Structure 1
Amino acid sequence: MALLIIMAGGLGKRLGVGVEKPLVMLGGKRLIDYVIDAALEAETIRKIICITSQNTPDTTKYLLSRGFEVIKGKGTGYYDDLLSALWGLPSDIYVICSADIPFILSKDIDQLVKEYAEGLCGNPYILVAVPVEIVKKLGLSASSRFKVDEQELCPAGLRLIDKKLIAERRLPKPYILVLNEPRLGVNINTIDDLKQAEALLRGNLSRLL
């Protein structure tokens, strides 16, 4: 079993919709609620913790109203807020999800935790990635990308950190777990990403499941 952290403190400037990104509506539902629902349904998650910041006061209020534990980061960046919060939490296994990956399912979370538990990754820090070509086929921006062995990948907004096995206040080089799952490539960074996600919801969601 693991704890799940939802990262919900970013400004979301590229989206430019005048609403805090975790609270942006997609198909009549807040982006962050898709992630919350997946976490609540996951068999391997026993608790949800949310990290917000001064950039997302409305998100903080919303999460508190739903009864979730909220840690307020400084809003200085994803990794700064994550590490600051993580090292104030007990040693445990943590799944980290961005608040803007609306098509994540509980089975994606369970697969990550189970693969780690079975020793398939051999690293206390796992970063899930999706091939760029899969993201582009969905009509999404693929604005964040990196290369591993000449393969272009997009981070999926999903990670696992076993704090029990990390002695220092910094993360080791991650094991890159590549999953050919189109739904994990849907990361809402721009208004075009949001529009494309809406189009997928309307007619082509079967491509993601």
Structure 2
Amino acid sequence: MDALLMCGGRGTRLGGGTEKPLREVAGRPMVDRVLDALAESRVETIHAVVSPHATRTRAHLAARASESASPSVVEAPGNGYVADLQHAMEAIGADGRPRLTVAADLPLLDGAAVNAVLDAARAVDGDSLTVCVPAARKRELGVSADATTEIDGREVVPAGINVVGGRAGDGGNGTGDDADGSADDADDAGEGAVHLTDDARIAVNVNYPSDVRTAERLLADDSTHHTDR
């Protein structure tokens, strides 16, 4: 399965002048951490979706051209998460095959966590999978839990990693100012199956400075548990 890495966000909620994908967590830009996770997984091809809001991120990706985890770069217009995702799907060829979509703000992600999502998608009917995290789990970890929704009476937050079918963006709102696929920017998987996980590697989206501190703490903590429900 191919992956679309959404990394066109401004990062205004993080403050400062650094584009969100380039915000360092424990000394490394988040986009590099996510690229490494995708390279470790069963993903076949990585397409990085950039925008006019992330010109330094585009240059950073170009500088990685000789590395094994170097992605192809898709230029999107920067009109919001869903619009940019649709643009990227068309640019790489919307042939009906499902694609993994991943936000550049998941610094705890690794290859095993990506493969768990691929396995969950393979196990359900249809070609779309919405990954959600219980809001209580995000609060337990100490990360922001914006844009909650309810599934079977449980408060959940759409995660920054999903699987979409041939048509992207059904049901997504694309209203976030970062437009990079944060959990609170859009539910990009439409009306497919739902996969609920407590996995901290997926639960930690970085949207605010406090989330950076939490991610760094968890990266240093080998006792973090990875569970699905």
Normalising by structure 1, what TM-score?
Answer: 0.89
Determine whether 1:182 maps to 2:200.
Answer: yes
Counterpart-to-counterpart distance in 1, 2:22 and 2:205:
14
Determine whether 1:51 maps to 2:56.
Answer: no
Partner of 1:85 in structure 2? Answer: 88
Partner of 1:7 in structure 2? Answer: 6
Q: Given residue 30 of structure 2, which amino acid in structure 1 is its aligned partner?
A: L
Partner of 1:197 in structure 2? Answer: 215
In structure 2, which of residues 59, 84, 106 is the aligned counterpart of residue 101 of structure 1?
Answer: 106
How many residue pairs are counted as aligned between the two chains? 200
- Report 1:114-153 matches (<5 A): 114-117=119-122, 120-153=123-156
In structure 2, list runs of 5 or more residues that go unmatched. Answer: 66-70, 171-189
Q: CA deviation at 1:201?
A: 2.8
Partner of 1:207 in structure 2? Answer: 224
Q: Given residue 80 of structure 1, which amino acid in structure 2 is its aligned partner?
A: A
Partner of 1:173 in structure 2? Answer: 191
Please give the secondary structure, in 2, of the residue aligned with 1:206: coil
Which of 120-129 and 93-102 deviates more?
120-129
Q: CA deviation at 1:46?
A: 1.1
Q: CA deviation at 1:144?
A: 2.9
> Structure 1 residues 78, 151: CA separation in 2 closer, same or farther (over 3 Å shift)?
same
Partner of 1:70 in structure 2? Answer: 73
Please give the secondary structure, in 1, of the residue aligned with 2:91: coil
Partner of 1:22 in structure 2? Answer: 21
Q: CA deviation at 1:65?
A: 1.8
> Structure 1 residues 138, 51: CA separation in 2 closer, same or farther (over 3 Å shift)?
same
Q: CA deviation at 1:10?
A: 1.4
The structure richer in helix per residue is: 1
RMSD: 1.6
In structure 1, list runs of 5 or more residues that go unmatched. Answer: none
Q: What percentage of residue pairs aligned between the two structures are identical? A: 28
* 8 Å Cα contact 1:183-1:208 kept in structure 2: no
Partner of 1:61 in structure 2? Answer: 59
The structure richer in strand per residue is: 1
Partner of 2:174 in structure 1? Answer: none
* 8 Å Cα contact 1:10-1:77 kept in structure 2: no
Counterpart-to-counterpart distance in 1, 2:24 and 2:200:
21
Counterpart-to-counterpart distance in 2, 1:205 and 1:16:
29
Normalising by structure 2, what TM-score?
Answer: 0.82
In structure 2, which of residues 161, 164, 187 is the aligned counterpart of residue 161 of structure 1?
Answer: 164
